[in-house]
Amino acid sequence: MAVANKPSLDTLGEIFRFAVQRFRAARLAYGHGTTNAHDEAAFLVLEALRLPIDRLDPYLDLRPSAAERARLLTLIDARVSLRLPAPYLVGAAYMHGVRFHADRRALIPRSFIGDMLADGVLPIGDAGRIKHVLDLCTGSGCLAILAALTFPRAHVDGSDLSAGALALARRNVASHRLGDRITLHRGDLFKPLQGKRYDLIVSNPPYIAAGDPHLAQGDLRFEPRSALTDGSADGLDSIRAIVAGASDHLNAGGSLLFEHGYDQAEACRSLLQAAGFGELVSIPDLAGIPRVAGGKIL
């Protein structure tokens, strides 16, 4: 029987439990804000109805309209049959409670640097001195927006080579009413930013090696390839260019922080040392694997 013809799915609670069952049976992969079928189903049904995503219980007895019910069941079926990531299906993703529009023009918002921005733990010393921030490879604009929220007196530039990603970033900037504090530039890394200097440069650049089989697996196969890999054999060409060019765009005492792959920490440290950066940092993820590197212009 087709999903849309199931007669018993009348309340949001029933639809939610149905989604959990289907997701578990399908053995879906998770990783964009959720880690299991329960949380994925809750996010999907709540966000699809534009309800607050932090609590499901108050809405379990809600009876969606016929159109809402049909939309929910279609989304559940698409998540299973197409394997599309939930943020792309509902057009939104969250980082620390901040909502971003999401679609296939850019990576689904996620970032170790974004986590540190939201938690106020960036290794940059006095945060009060941050007046100018650059987000390289801005994609959806999520890091630029989180930086603007973290440093309320700073102006933030974001650059990206993708016109589609920048269109999505502009939508996110407008949604957060930050158009007076965030300026978006189209171009390759520093090229559209000649003569500009910053107190902080952050980046979540493409760093996956061109031949990595993960590019064709799981959720990564749905995300823009150019945001995941720069086409180099070791995945480090973009990082090389960022480290080499950052000193020309940092004020004295300014910091550079960028994300990298699981096995790239030593190479990134060597690049930073060769470029003259001091006070080098290497920040691990929850599993203890270094995923963010950086340093300061002294």
Model confidence over 36-82: pLDDT tens digits? 999 999 999 999 999 999 999 999 999 999 999 999 999 999 999 99
Q: What is the pLDDT of residue 125?
A: 84
Q: Which carries the bigger pLDDT value, residue 219 or residue 49?
A: 49
Identify the pLDDT of residue 31.
79
Round to whole Å and give the CA distance between 69 and 119.
Answer: 37
Confidence band of 2 (pLDDT split at 50, 70, 90): very low
- List domains and CATH numbers for the chain: 3-90 (no CATH), 105-296 (3.40.50.150)
Q: Tell me the two tokens of residue 62.
A: 């809600």
C-alpha–C-alpha distance, residues 260 and 241, integer Å: 13
d(CA 73, CA 262): 37
For residue 255, pLDDT over 60 is answered with yes
If you average pLDDT over residues 139-154, what whole number do you get?
A: 96
Mean of per-residue pLDDT scores for the chain:
93
Residues 141, 144, 112, CA angle at the centre, nearest 5°?
A: 90
- Strands, sheet with 132-136, edge to edge from the N-terminal-most edge strand: 182-186, 155-160, 132-136, 198-203, 250-259, 290-296, 278-284
Q: Average pLDDT for residues 83-97, to the nearest whole number?
A: 94
Residue 188: what pLDDT?
A: 95
pLDDT at 160: 97
* Mean pLDDT, residues 198-217 taken together: 93
| Alpha-carbon span 151 to 129, nearest angstrom | 9
Q: What is this structure's pTM?
A: 0.91
| 233-247: pLDDT as tens digits | 999 999 999 999 999
In this prediction, residue 1 has a pLDDT band, given cuts at 50, 70 and 90, of very low
Q: Which of 30-34, 138-142, 257-261 has the lowest mean pLDDT?
A: 30-34
- Which value, to the nearest 10 degrees, does the dihedral of the CA atoms of residues 250, 196, 125, 253 take? 40
Determine the pLDDT at residue 208: 94
